[in-house]
Structure 1
Amino acid sequence: MLLEQARPDKAVCRMLAFVLISLWPALVSGQLWPFGPPNIVFVLADDYGFNDVGYHGSEILTPNLDKLAGEGVKLENYYVQPICTPTRSQLMSGRYQIHTGLQHDIIWATQPNGLPLDSPTLADKLRETGYSTHAIGKWHLGFYKEDYLPTRRGFDSYYGYLTGSEDYNTHYRCDDMHDAPGGDGVDTDERMCGYDLRDNEVPVKDQLEKYSTQVFTEKAVNLIKNHEQKKPLFLYMAYQAVHSPLEVPEDYTWNYYNIQDKNRKTYAGMVSCMDEGVGNITDALKKAGMWNNTVFVFSTDNGGEILAGGNNWPLRGWKHSLWEGGMRGVGFVHSRFIQNNGTQTKELMHVSDWLPTLVGMAGGDTNGTKPLDGYNQWEMISKGKPSPRKEILHNIDIMFPPKGDNLYPDIFDTRTRAAIRVGEYKLITGDPGNSSWIPPPSTSLYFPKTSHDAPEKNVWLFHVTSDPDEEIDLSSKHPDIVKELLQRLAYYNSTAVPPVYPKSDPNCDPKLHNGFWGPWVS
């Protein structure tokens, strides 16, 4: 009798089932979450090449990344920037680098420069939405004043290093002094050296001879284990891996006895260590009961550095270049809230899209930001809908040395280093950087392809959808399309702010700050 009284009424069950079915599209699209807003874990690899992940056919073993990508959505028409600071600035601000003054080079450790303070970061907006926000690893968005530190840019906690690269074990780096625009370049007679590792804003001195990939993974695992789940978690996991210098514990290279190239072998081990770290982080989320309510994102920050073991085959070019090998990124999203898991998309996406995508998915808004260049891509990622993005400005760098003659002076100065993707076409002007196609050194199955471009050539047009390797230049065949894309470059150039690339400040010298890189201007 008691059991019969406790049994739910059939009409009530039908009503609950109807409500659940009705709400399910909203649940999985992020408009309404069954367990509160999802945790967001964003893993950013450094200098990770297009041909360095298993699911792109690499000889490097990445079982954890392959599994996560295979169960999620692979982003196969996804673009980042050719170098570190520009990618990170666009990820955090949702704005093109021409709109933040960071369109030339990176932020060097000795320069008084940083991501402008006039717009909230991704972390700021997620914290406004109720998230607990944490950053681990590489910052590289400026630190000359305390206001530019991660803990002042929206993160509740930070553990990592502030500069662009360093020794993996000693956490020590040296940097040259850099001239202001119009100067003579780098003064290699003046070098400044110091340690770079911080727990929030306090220099860390107890991690010497501990490999950074493992240190950062351990910090992430402990953070997840101790996370107060009343608040959703945003973890920005910016690994040092797999940026140079080429260093890794020997255990991680044993599986690569078949790779004879020393740089490639060490690099492969560095990738394996990072892949293991990703597996440990996902395991920690599962043990904490957080995985089923997590959106996991993986991205590289730029193409692989050929001279430091990376590879982007079959794409042309590498890190620093405006060719596809410098900018087409490895990326995927994994979440149970994605309807089309186990797929790949070739819809157009850019690193600046993450801010509006993740903030919108989490139920936040972009009020208070400067005008964004990114688009909310959650519907594309989670449902396979068309991308709202139709073009990408890769960059316009007026400080880069000009190349060749100005072929279209009434539209845009083609001597300027610039690139834009509009629809299925990509236009490059000026000096795009090394134009080689480099097969992985561990194989003899491919032969290097050689560019036959004239030394002063400064305009290229590619139908990049059908020619992602950028082998067939169409600039002579379709001058009308060249002009259309040059007009788009001219438009963006009219919206650009002046580049900010200050001369190095000798007051940054770590020897003046207890041997550590850190803020030096009050």
Structure 2
Amino acid sequence: MRLLLSLVVAVAGSQLLAAEKPTVVVVLVDDFGYECVAANGGQSYKTPHLDRLAAAGMRFEHCHVQPLCTPTRVQLMTGKYNVRNYLNFGTLVRTETTFAHLLKKAGYATGICGKWQLGREKDSPQHFGFDESYLWQHTRRPPRYANPGLEHNGKELNFTKSEYGPDLVNDFAIDFVTRHKDKPFFLYYPMMLTHSPYQPTPDSPDWDPKAMGEMVNSNEKHFGEMVAYMDKLIGKFDAKLGELGIRDNTLVLIVGDNGTGRGLTSRFGGADVRAGKGTTKATGTHVPLIVSWPGVVKKGRVNADLISSVDFLPTICQAIGTDVPASTDGLSFLPQLRGEKGTPREWLYTWYSPRQKADVTVSEYAFDHGYKLYRDGRFFDLAADRNESKPLKVADVTGPAATAAKKLQSALDKYKDARPAELDQKFRGSSKKTN
């Protein structure tokens, strides 16, 4: 009898432990800058579901990523700065450990749906730790929006009956969480929206899937409609988590992969903001970050700490109670989510050079809330010169600026020799430029 009671207690205890483990969802919105969210002060687009999630959780005012998609995805998934492991656009080095590997090892069911763009090997998603995948741009690049071509666990699917790619991906996301609702799961959801081509959505007056190819009928006037549709899909997905009764213990992180697509202008805080995707200015790297975890994060929190894309992996590891790899460059912001001070970053570091070629230029810099220093010596007062048009001479600055310059130089020096020689040789060829 005593043995039976012990077994019952042990089983109950293990079930409780499993129940306490949060489910985790990371939503990565494509080409979506900070100025696009109404809750952040954006005035051009309607984002009611994102605004609601921000009001019910925490939004971060200073999250920065890489200026382009693949570099950000590599940092997000591995928790390492690009200086350590970035090889080329559209590639994730196959020796890397991702957050999916770590969560899978911790007993999580792992899934990915949306945009891949990290290697065309058929087994890539599974190789990088995902049990299930439903992807665009895995081994090929067909249309992503109307009548898309997708791949489900490596099997090609071609849709020809006016289907809309983002709807199909969102349906998979909902199916995945429904099937795994009774055990811990991790879903990485890198959306296709709101990347160009800027085309009508099924909610647009001029939606005509028969007239739309991958780059047909693209017009910037449709960007706002695409933002609205992205927001709607997130709302639908979030509602399903509630219906399944798992919302309170689901950590949802929503972040942009880089600044808004160039050529677009949005209203923000009463001023026009020209999109800066692909540039190292704030408009290329400053993105929205909204975190919702009703059982942990209190409503209506706004955080002003610096957050980097390398910080997601350690944050998720700590949230599920598994070890953070010693190789990570990230700092967990889990304490901030819990309402504690944590260990805020004093600076952010960036190594950025997305395209592999012989004559390659690397942009390398460090910045804090007020100042930015490039490896080549350019120094900017960001409060007075957000567009980085008037570099200051470090030797001439005094006071807080001089203190910041010294701190940022120290940050740059920390990564001076961080680039692995064998990776650098593959990446560069024979030439090297740094700024």
Taking structure 2 as the reference length, what is the TM-score of the superposition? Answer: 0.80
Question: 1:485 — aligned with what?
Answer: 408
Question: 1:428 — aligned with what?
Answer: 374
Residue from 100, 104, 110 that aligns with 2:85: 100
Question: 2:25 — aligned with what?
Answer: 41
Question: 2:111 — aligned with what?
Answer: 134
Question: 1:239 — aligned with what?
Answer: 191
CA shift digits 1:272-299 (9 cap, x unpaired)? 1111100110111111111121111100
Residue 416 of structure 2: SS of its match in structure 1? helix
The answer (yes or no) to whether the contact 2:98–2:128 under 8 Å persists in 1 is yes
The answer (yes or no) to whether the contact 1:135–1:237 under 8 Å persists in 2 is yes
- Distance in 2 (CA, whole Å) between partners of 1:165 and 1:304 is 22
Q: Determine if the alignment matches structure 1 residue 387 to structure 2 residue 339.
A: no
CA shift digits 1:130-184 (9 cap, x unpaired)? 11111100112222x345x112211110001235975333567xxxxxxxxxxxx
Residue 486 (structure 1) shift:
3.8
Question: 2:294 — aligned with what?
Answer: 336
Q: Determine if the alignment matches structure 1 residue 462 to structure 2 residue 381.
A: yes
Residue from 74, 84, 87 that aligns with 1:89: 74
Question: 1:156 — aligned with what?
Answer: 131
Q: CA RMSD in A?
A: 3.2
What does residue range 114-513 of structure 1 map to in structure 2 within 5 Å? 114-143=91-120, 145-147=121-123, 149-162=124-137, 167-169=143-145, 196-206=149-159, 209-229=162-182, 231-249=183-201, 251-252=203-204, 263-307=219-263, 318-366=276-324, 369=325, 371-397=327-353, 417-422=363-368, 424-428=370-374, 459-463=378-382, 473-475=391-393, 477-478=396-397, 480=402, 481-482=404-405, 485-497=408-420, 498-499=423-424, 500-501=426-427
Residue 359 of structure 1: SS of its match in structure 2? helix
Amino acid in the other structure paired with 1:117: R
Task: Indicate how the Cα distance of structure 1 residues 423 and 331 shifts in structure 2: closer, same or farther if over 3 A, else same.
Answer: closer
CA shift digits 1:347-377 (9 cap, x unpaired)? 11111111110011101113xx461111111
The answer (yes or no) to whether the contact 1:357–1:375 under 8 Å persists in 2 is yes
Residue 67 (structure 1) shift:
0.4
Residue 129 (structure 1) shift:
1.2
Question: 2:64 — aligned with what?
Answer: 79
Larger radius of gyration, structure 1 or 2?
A: 1
- Distance in 2 (CA, whole Å) between partners of 1:428 and 1:253 is 47
Amino acid in the other structure paired with 1:154: G
The answer (yes or no) to whether the contact 2:264–2:274 under 8 Å persists in 1 is no
Instruction: Return 5+ residue gaps in structure 1 as ranges.
Output: 1-31, 108-113, 173-195, 255-261, 404-414, 431-457, 504-522
Residue 114 of structure 2: SS of its match in structure 1? strand
Task: Indicate how the Cα distance of structure 1 residues 219 and 278 shifts in structure 2: closer, same or farther if over 3 A, else same.
Answer: same
- Distance in 2 (CA, whole Å) between partners of 1:424 and 1:142 is 37
- Distance in 2 (CA, whole Å) between partners of 1:280 and 1:427 is 42
The answer (yes or no) to whether the contact 2:262–2:274 under 8 Å persists in 1 is no
The answer (yes or no) to whether the contact 1:49–1:311 under 8 Å persists in 2 is no
- Distance in 1 (CA, whole Å) between partners of 2:119 and 2:152 is 17
CA shift digits 1:408-464 (9 cap, x unpaired)? xxxxxxx8522212464222356xxxxxxxxxxxxxxxxxxxxxxxxxxx7232245
CA shift digits 1:248-283 (9 cap, x unpaired)? 2263369xxxxxxx9443000011111110011011
Residue 158 of structure 2: SS of its match in structure 1? coil
The answer (yes or no) to whether the contact 1:266–1:309 under 8 Å persists in 2 is no
Task: Indicate how the Cα distance of structure 1 residues 475 and 316 shifts in structure 2: closer, same or farther if over 3 A, else same.
Answer: farther
- Distance in 1 (CA, whole Å) between partners of 2:253 and 2:181 is 21
Task: Indicate how the Cα distance of structure 1 residues 59 and 169 shifts in structure 2: closer, same or farther if over 3 A, else same.
Answer: closer
Residue 38 (structure 1) shift:
1.1
| Larger helix fraction of residues | 2
- Distance in 2 (CA, whole Å) between partners of 1:316 and 1:168 is 26
The answer (yes or no) to whether the contact 1:151–1:201 under 8 Å persists in 2 is no
Amino acid in the other structure paired with 1:328: H
Residue 310 (structure 1) shift:
6.8
Question: 1:440 — aligned with what?
Answer: none
- Distance in 1 (CA, whole Å) between partners of 2:333 and 2:253 is 13
Residue 19 of structure 2: SS of its match in structure 1? coil
Task: Indicate how the Cα distance of structure 1 residues 208 and 169 shifts in structure 2: closer, same or farther if over 3 A, else same.
Answer: farther
Residue 233 (structure 1) shift:
1.7
Task: Indicate how the Cα distance of structure 1 residues 278 and 317 shifts in structure 2: closer, same or farther if over 3 A, else same.
Answer: closer
Amino acid in the other structure paired with 2:163: K
Residue 501 (structure 1) shift:
4.3
Residue 473 (structure 1) shift:
4.6
Task: Indicate how the Cα distance of structure 1 residues 85 and 339 shifts in structure 2: closer, same or farther if over 3 A, else same.
Answer: closer
Question: 2:3 — aligned with what?
Answer: none
Residue 41 of structure 1: SS of its match in structure 2? strand
Residue 348 of structure 1: SS of its match in structure 2? strand
Amino acid in the other structure paired with 2:364: A
- Distance in 2 (CA, whole Å) between partners of 1:355 and 1:228 is 22
- Distance in 1 (CA, whole Å) between partners of 2:126 and 2:267 is 34
The answer (yes or no) to whether the contact 1:353–1:375 under 8 Å persists in 2 is yes
The answer (yes or no) to whether the contact 1:77–1:346 under 8 Å persists in 2 is yes
The answer (yes or no) to whether the contact 2:266–2:274 under 8 Å persists in 1 is no
The answer (yes or no) to whether the contact 2:32–2:257 under 8 Å persists in 1 is yes
Residue 193 of structure 2: SS of its match in structure 1? coil
Task: Indicate how the Cα distance of structure 1 residues 269 and 170 shifts in structure 2: closer, same or farther if over 3 A, else same.
Answer: closer
Amino acid in the other structure paired with 1:343: R
Task: Indicate how the Cα distance of structure 1 residues 488 and 375 shifts in structure 2: closer, same or farther if over 3 A, else same.
Answer: closer
The answer (yes or no) to whether the contact 2:203–2:229 under 8 Å persists in 1 is no
- Distance in 1 (CA, whole Å) between partners of 2:179 and 2:262 is 39
Amino acid in the other structure paired with 2:397: H
Taking structure 1 as the reference length, what is the TM-score of the superposition? Answer: 0.67
